[in-house]
Amino acid sequence: SVHLHHLYIHIHSFKIWTNSMPFFQKTVVLPSHPRGFHLVTDLVLKDISAGLSQFKIGLAHFFIQHTSASITVCENYDQDVRADLETTFNRIVPEDDNLYTHTMEGSDDMPAHVKSVLVGPSITIPITNGKLNLGTWQGLYLCEHRNQGGNRKIVVTLHGE
């Protein structure tokens, strides 16, 4: 059985301490981005740094609450990587209304769903000494697959000690 020692509730974030390891959860809202691969590490860290700093070791789980955008980790230095990824994805999954049955939300919608499935809605990154343990050249990407997708919500769950 689990006994809660503390329970803190805030709008869009909460902490639970069990008799094992604490959890921290927050929904990060990213501003609208045009279609493409966008480095959002700093934007996300700004919103979760207070919670992240409480963990010496653990896991950070990122889940995007959308079906036409995705999240991943990739090269954080050269912007050409992001442009090349967008070009590659557009070749793999073209916009062509004749290819798809689901077209009522626009010609970019069904390809966006396919791209989202290929990348996935979530990733997990290790936490070490209050920081995301990313490699030297790694950053968190918002993969926006719609021409203009609007704000995107990412639920961040931290677990560790």
What's the pLDDT tens digit per position in 9-62? Answer: 334 555 555 567 799 999 999 999 999 999 999 999 999 999 999 999 999 999
- Mean pLDDT of the region 3-13: 43
Residue 1 confidence (pLDDT): 39
CA dihedral 67, 149, 45, 71 (to 10 degrees): 30
pTM metric for this prediction? 0.86
| Dihedral of alpha carbons 123, 121, 112, 154, sign | negative
- Nearest in space to 67 (alpha carbons), one of 152, 159, 156: 152
Per DSSP, the three-state class of 25 is strand
User: Cα-flanking dihedrals φ and ψ of residue 90, to 5°?
Assistant: -70, -30
With 70 as the cut, is the pLDDT of residue 118 above it? yes
Q: In this structure, what token pair is assigned to residue 114?
A: 């396919």
With 50 as the cut, is the pLDDT of residue 2 above it? no
d(CA 95, CA 73): 25
Residue located via tokens 């409480």: 54
d(CA 5, CA 94): 52
129-156 residue pLDDT tens: 999 999 999 999 999 999 989 999 999 9
**How far, in whole angstroms, is CA 7 from its chain's centroid?**
26
- Mean pLDDT of the region 106-114: 96
Residue 4 confidence (pLDDT): 41
